[in-house]
Amino acid sequence: MIPERIRRLKPYKTETSRAKVRLSSNELPYPVPEHLRKRIAEEIARVPFERYPDPTASELKEVLGEFFGVREENIVLGNGSDELIYYLSAVVGDVGGIYTPVPTFPMYEISADVMGRKKVTVPLTADFDIDLESSLGLADMYSLAYFAFPNNPTGNLFSRDRIRKIRERGVFVVLDEAYYHYSGETFLEDALRREDTAVLRTLSKIGMAGLRVGVLIAKEEVAREINKVRLPFNITYPSQVIAKVMLTEGREFIEESVEKVVTERERVFRELATIEGVEPFPSRANFILFRTPYPADAVHSRMLSYGVLVRDVSYMPRLERCLRVSVGRPEENDAFLEALYRSVRDLGQRFAG
């Protein structure tokens, strides 16, 4: 009774290997400071767990509206943006397929499979931008398009102009701005003005991955419709309470941490380029994609033996011999650079001999 498209799905896998230095999931590397933890503990102690949480999470939405500079009417909350991607794929452009450039974040394709919608995947150009000609050539086949902006795992921003040209074909475009705080680039104005554009943001990459809070921003008329399919209590009570404290009293901590990560990103990029045979790709996010001369799985396991976990993304189209590293604290980044240097040296000896 279970349809073939579901049987063919593979369970979503993340990196679970143990390692001293974990740089595989693009989390914020700085732990929440003690004074904030105390404040959160106080607030949590008051949560009446026996009650359902506020189904509209209105206090959290107010704080989020302030944080992102939008009105509450423009917001739909998800249990992570992953959940919002499911909602969008269920609701928007009912007929017609779903477009994604590849390689990109896997959830767009997974949501299309789950909802039984046709997938239109178009490989990126050699410099990881949208292949406009092929995308427009197939435009009759899709009504919804996802663009991670900046893209994961390549780290670059697609040309705005190419996204607009695809939208001009009557396609609803979703800009997944999970890394907005690291890029500073956004389609927010379009999302607030137009009925064919939505922006996704998340708290996951700015220190709150464990809370599972994703934010969809769209014109009120669009947000209202998507909100109808939202599961009623999808943001848990503790998450609502913790996110509120973090986004108000913790705002300085978040901003300072993001700034440190951006500074480190530039340093790690420069240092990567000095390792023989390693080619890093410029990034506007909190991770860096890089290519090495050797099979990525060999580099990955070698680095793990030195206590550093990164993500092997070489299974994705165009990314042969590529890995992705999240930017960590300075000492973690040093450990990463050292482990990569040694791994490349070890493998050089093995492959030469």
Ligand X SMILES: *Cc1c(COP(=O)(O)O)cnc(C)c1O
**Any contact of residue 178 with ligand X (CB under 6 A)?**
yes
HEC assignment per residue over the chain: CCCHHHHCCCCCCCCCCCCCEECCCCCCCCCCCHHHHHHHHHHHHCCCCCCCCCCCCHHHHHHHHHHHCCCHHHEEEECCHHHHHHHHHHHCCCCCEEEEEECCCCHHHHHHHHHCCCEEEEECCCCCCCCHHHHHHCHHHEEEEEEECCCCCCCCCCCHHHHHHHHCCCCEEEEECCCHHHHCCCCHHHHHHCCCEEEEEECHHHCCHHHCCEEEECCHHHHHHHHHHCCCCCCCHHHHHHHHHHHHCCHHHHHHHHHHHHHHHHHHHHHHHCCCCCEECCCCCCEEEEECCCCHHHHHHHHHHCCEECEECCCCCCCCCEEEEECCCHHHHHHHHHHHHHHHHHHHHHHHC
- Least distance to ligand X, CB of residue 235, Å: 12
26 binds ligand X (CB under 6 A): yes
Of 82 and 196, CB closest to ligand X: 82
| Least distance in angstroms from the C-beta of 121 to ligand X | 15
Interface pick for ligand X out of 29, 93, 103, 214 (rule CB under 6 A):
214
- Choose the stretch contacting ligand X; rule: CB under 6 A; options: 13-21, 200-208, 226-234, 313-321: 200-208
By CB under 6 A, residue 202 contacts ligand X: yes
Judged by CB under 6 A, which of 148, 218, 327, 337 binds ligand X? 148
Interacting residues with ligand X between 275 and 314 (CB under 6 A): none
Establish if 207 lies at the interface with ligand X (CB under 6 A).
Answer: no
Closer to ligand X by CB, 21 or 110: give it.
110
> In terms of CB distance, is 202 or 314 closer to ligand X?
202
* The binder of ligand X chosen from 80, 101, 103, 280 (CB under 6 A): 80
Measure Cα distances from 322 to 38, 214, 283 in Å: 41, 28, 14
Among 28, 53, 70, 81, binds ligand X (CB under 6 A): 81
Determine, following the binding rule CB under 6 A, whether residue 152 of this chain makes contact with ligand X: yes
The yes or no reply on residue 204 touching ligand X (CB under 6 A) is yes
Which of 247, 253, 210, 301 has its CA nearest to residue 27? Answer: 210
Part of the chain binding ligand X (CB under 6 A), chosen from 60-68, 183-191, 203-211, 226-234: 203-211
Is 175 a residue that touches ligand X (CB under 6 A)?
no
In the complex, which residue's CB is closest to ligand X? 80
Beta carbon nearer to ligand X, 32 or 347:
32
* Given 28, 68, 82, 167, the residue binding ligand X (CB under 6 A): 82
Minimum CB separation of residue 347 from ligand X in Å reads: 28
By CB under 6 A, name the binding residues for ligand X.
26, 80-82, 105, 148, 152, 176, 178, 202, 204-205, 209, 214
